[in-house]
Amino acid sequence: MASQSAQEETVLEENLPGQPAGLTFHPATASGTAPASGTVPAFLVLPGGGYGRQAPHEAEPVAEWLSSLGLHAFVLRYSVAPNRHPAPLSDAQAAMAWIRSGRHGLQVDASRVGVLGFSAGGHLAASLGTTDSPLTAPDLSVLCYPVISFTDHAHQGCVDNLLGPSPSDDDLRSVSVEQHVTAQTPPAFLWHTFDDQAVSVEHSIRFAASLRSAGVPVELHIFPHGRHGLGLASGVPGASAWPRLCESWLEQRGWIHPMAAPTASSRFGGNLKG
């Protein structure tokens, strides 16, 4: 296995016991904030792509940013069309269980495993958070311009790819995660742009409202401008601040050390004055 201190290196481990297909990982780097010994938090990264593909700029670059903060980061290429629901969710649940199992050899704190998803990957991340399995549910969620509802302001590409043609109303409601939030849903950090033309900002607003109604802590940032699919949003006025804001949120929750955030943000988030 590659050294945990190897910096910015994608660890493409294969044939480890029980390792889910499509899962790679980036150990926390020495430049991050993790202690030299002991367990540290981890994140599962779920790139977007409308359940038809996975966007590469929402995968490894994001994992490298997380590992630079002293977090172990895992990237999952989950099932997409022609595979239908619940195949992507089953993949993500298997990945979460394997991350917590420790069979990858990294010192992961099994009580602090988060999920970070973009667009359709944000829907998948939010779906993980509304399941009732302690083994596969995340402890925190970071949702970036997520698809949330399949009944209001629905993204038709996600509907077609995840559910197939002409899904029933019951099927649409079953995957509309804002309708399944409970007090056990994990705290969440969300961000969106107001003029996102692909996935309406209403998705993030509705999910934040559902979390608030359930008494779940939530932080929501809406930036005035920016196209859909910005990823780390380097150099994008306003939206480029999201990595720093997310790091601050993680600091407040005790997942990372506060001293590393300015260096990591400026490196991966571009102009953070936005």
> Tell me: the pLDDT tens digits for 154-166?
999 999 999 999 9
Tell me what pLDDT residue 42 has.
98
DSSP string for residues in 26-39:
EPPPTTSS--SSS-
Over residues 74-80, mean pLDDT: 98
Q: Are 72 and 108 in contact (CB under 8 A)?
A: yes
Q: How sure is the predictor about 101, in pLDDT bands with cuts at 50, 70 and 90?
A: very high
Over residues 149-178, mean pLDDT: 98
Nearest alpha-carbon partner for 29 in 71, 85, 89, 74? 71
209: part of which helix (H) or strand (E)? helix 202-213
What lies within 8 Å, CB to CB, of 65 at 6+ separation is 232, 243, 264, 268, 269
Tokens of 234: 């380097």
Using the predicted structure, report yes or no on whether residue 233 has a pLDDT greater than 70. Answer: yes
The DSSP bridge partners found for residue 73 are: 26, 43
8-16 long-range Cβ contacts below 8 angstroms, 24+ apart? 8/64, 8/67, 8/68, 10/60, 10/63, 13/104, 16/103, 16/104, 16/105
114: part of which helix (H) or strand (E)? strand 108-118
Q: The tokens 């969440």 sit on which residue?
A: 188
Tell me what pLDDT residue 132 has.
85
Q: How many angstroms separate the CA atoms of 240 and 257, rounded?
A: 21
Using the predicted structure, report yes or no on whether residue 22 has a pLDDT greater than 80. Answer: yes
Q: Per CATH, which fold does 23-268 belong to?
A: Rossmann fold (3.40.50)
pTM: 0.91
Q: Are 257 and 227 in contact (CB under 8 A)?
A: no
